[in-house]
Amino acid sequence: MTHRLVVPFELPDPQPVSSVLVEALASLDIVVVGHYGLPEQTPPAVAREQFEAEAKEQLAAVAAPFEAAGASVTTRLVFGRDRGKAIDQIAIEENCDGELDPAPTDRVDRILVPIPDTGNIDRLTSFVTVFAEGHEPSVTLLHVVEGEETDADGEAVVADGRERMVDHGIDPGTVDTRVVTDTDHDAVILDAAADYDAVVMGEATPTVVDRIFGTLADKIVNQAGKPVVVVRRNHAEDDDGSA
């Protein structure tokens, strides 16, 4: 199965993705997005006319390492003020099922996968399996038991996730599981992320708190300093009410 990953860069001074992360992502189809942020008073059409040629050169430069690593690469350039909305729209248009939130790293040998109890599990485990192709990292499936859920419920969640990954073709010897009972789901994952090289996690429905203080993925990047791949929900199912 082919998976497509959107990799956003902020222009005009894009920060490159580390070479080891580029190599690790080469099994995925990559959509490199250059977002050129604009002041409130600048119309996108005016900025495009003035800066498009330079922006395209910069976009080609950050896309080149992915192409050299053997990935299939598509580039998109957008001028605007709302970065998140623009990237989300491109991800939908390009049928991307993941988004990279990068951070510096010198290895991708150990991957943490927080796994939910409902929804998105097959999409998440399939994505991780393809991501692991070629470099065979060790993968830990982590589930945080909360509320009325029992430890046995948590063990069933990670066992199901592991079974799905094996069915998708991952080496079962590279996947272990962990269940933690705690009242602070995000704190457990943020603390655990410090011991891994990267995190692959499912997209959560954003809350008001997320919009003010940042999402869990943002916190992992900014506080733990680890790159995060967020596997998007199936927005088509969300739209028709079946998710």
Q: What angle do CA 113, 118, 122 make, to 5 degrees?
A: 60
User: Residue 173: inside a domain, yes or no?
Assistant: yes
Predicted pLDDT of residue 240: 46
Q: Which domain holds residue 53?
A: 4-96
Structure tokens at 102: 């990068």
Q: pTM higher than 0.95 for the full model?
A: no
pLDDT digits (tens, 9 = 90+) for 85-111: 999 999 999 999 999 999 999 999 999
Burial bucket for residue 191 (CB in 10 Å: 0-12, 13-18, 19+) = middle
pLDDT over 50 (residue 243)? no
Cα 242 to the chain's mean position, in Å?
23
- Alpha-carbon span 101 to 112, nearest angstrom: 15
* pLDDT band per the 50, 70, 90 thresholds, residue 241: very low
Residue 57: give its domain's CATH number. 3.40.50.620
Give the DSSP H/E element, type plus range, for residue 33.
strand 29-37
User: Residue 101: inside a domain, yes or no?
Assistant: no
pLDDT over 70 (residue 190)? yes
Residues 64 and 184 grouped into a single domain? no
* pLDDT band per the 50, 70, 90 thresholds, residue 211: low
pLDDT digits (tens, 9 = 90+) for 123-144: 899 999 988 887 889 999 999 9
